[in-house]
Structure 1
Amino acid sequence: MASHSTTSTSKPASIHDSARGSPVPEDAFHHLVQEINAILGPSNGIDSAGVDVNELKKAMLDYRSVEHEWSQYAFADHSRAYTRNLVDRGNGKANLLVLVWTPGKASPIHDHANAHCVMKILKGSLTETLYGWPCQRADNPTSCATETTYEQEQVTYMSDSLGLHRICNPSKDEVAVSLHLYTPPNAAKHGCHIFDEKTGKKTHVSQCHFYSELGVKM
């Protein structure tokens, strides 16, 4: 999963990429990175006037996953439930990440720090469990609302207005890989909250770290 492939080109995927001093491959995946940055434009994120979540979802849907185009960002670590690998910082307006999910593992139940997330399955499948917000009483359990499994090429959207969720790789043998656009990048800056499934009690996670940045393991 950590293999790298490069194709020389002088066209950067974003201002951030042009500053890293290495050419960005000219393929459909990196064209998607460029398109996302163009959609976000001079805005401050998806909440800004003129930015439509459906346009971002369509851009991700239109991309057909080709593993060698994104494999340079896909670092697996079976000692963790998943890895968070930074692809692009969206000119400061977003974080675009590739997440690699260990077989049978899941994220904790979490919020999105008042950010929006568009997720595309690049490889395998992922099951999302969507929860309602827990009540203020600490002993009130988080209620399960729905469970949906998304297959390769499918795209979904999540925000705090929809509740909380947990993502799981249902496969016992194969890693799954997903592409996530977070805008604005609040969780990386300020952290987020995770929730106990039985009590609903929340815990603040101060910062969501990256396992790799721009194809380089940290």
Structure 2
Amino acid sequence: MGVNEGNSPGHPYVLEIWPPGHYSPIHVHSNSYGIIRVLHGKISTKLYSHFNVNHQIPFVTQLFEKDDVTWLSPGLNQIHKVANPTSSLCITIQAYHYGHDDQDHYEYFDYITNNGKNISHFDPKSDMDYVQFKKLIKKEWVAYGNRP
């Protein structure tokens, strides 16, 4: 959500929908600041002390539930893996921003590939803008008969 103005890795606001069993790879957030709130469901976060293919053991795992909030800042909580370990949908909203003194923006999130042997990067781009998303959800809601 929002426009990438160059002061965050990708869009500054992200609404993520985590189907049951879905997860991210181990990744790092480009030394940005961030705040994450669980809007619905539960999400698990594993934190890592090193971003290295030879060190993939988390030092802590935390389960966040609806209305829980967590954060990251340069040097803290940057390296993590996120997963929805439940049988229900999880939705999070996230906001990211580089620090005022950070003039060397790295626009990518580096991650460890699923085979655990390589480091790669991706450009965090939105799947669709908020207006498109809202129209699609409304269409599905109407087609479903407005049932929960």
Task: Please name the residue that 2:143 is paired with.
Answer: none
What's the CA shift string for 1:167-213, capped at 9, x where partnerless?
111112x21100100113xxxx82210025775742122x1121121
User: Secondary structure in 2 aligned to 1:161?
Assistant: coil
Q: 2:81 pairs with 159, 166, 174, which one?
A: 166
Task: Please name the residue that 1:98 is paired with.
Answer: 15
Which 4+ residue blocks in structure 1 deviate beyond 4 angstroms?
90-94, 196-200
Work out the CA distance in 2 between the residues paired with 1:167 and 1:151.
13
Work out the CA distance in 1 between the residues paired with 2:115 and 2:57.
9
Aligned partners of 1:119 and 1:179 also within 8 Å: yes
Unmatched 5+ stretches in structure 2: 99-105, 134-148
Which protein has greater RCO, CA pairs closer than 8 Å, 6+ apart? 2
Q: Give the share of equivalent positions with the same residue, in percent.
A: 20
Work out the CA distance in 2 between the residues paired with 1:202 and 1:141.
12
Work out the CA distance in 2 between the residues paired with 1:165 and 1:120.
16
Report the Cα offset of residue 215 of structure 1.
2.4
Aligned partners of 1:141 and 1:200 also within 8 Å: no
What's the CA shift string for 1:80-128, capped at 9, x where partnerless?
xxxxxx2x34876451111100111101110001211100000001000
Question: Residue 115 of structure 1 aligns to which amino acid in structure 2?
Answer: S
Larger helix fraction of residues: 1
Task: Please name the residue that 1:61 is paired with.
Answer: none
The size of the alignment, in residue pairs, is: 124
User: Secondary structure in 1 aligned to 2:30?
Assistant: coil
What's the CA shift string for 1:47-92, capped at 9, x where partnerless?
xxxxxxxxxxxxxxxxxxxxxxxxxxxxxxxxxxxxxxx2x34876
Report the Cα offset of residue 164 of structure 1.
0.7
Q: How does 1:39-50 map to 2 (within 5 A)?
A: none
| Structure whose alpha-carbon radius of gyration is higher | 1
Q: 1:193 pairs with 107, 110, 114, which one?
A: 110
User: Secondary structure in 2 aligned to 1:203?
Assistant: strand
The TM-score, its normalising length taken from structure 2, stands at 0.71
Aligned partners of 1:98 and 1:179 also within 8 Å: yes
Unmatched 5+ stretches in structure 1: 1-85
Q: How does 1:1-218 map to 2 (within 5 A)?
A: 86=1, 88-89=2-3, 93-94=7-8, 95-134=12-51, 140-162=54-76, 163-172=78-87, 174-184=88-98, 190-196=107-113, 201-205=118-122, 207-217=123-133
The TM-score, its normalising length taken from structure 1, stands at 0.50
Larger strand fraction of residues: 2
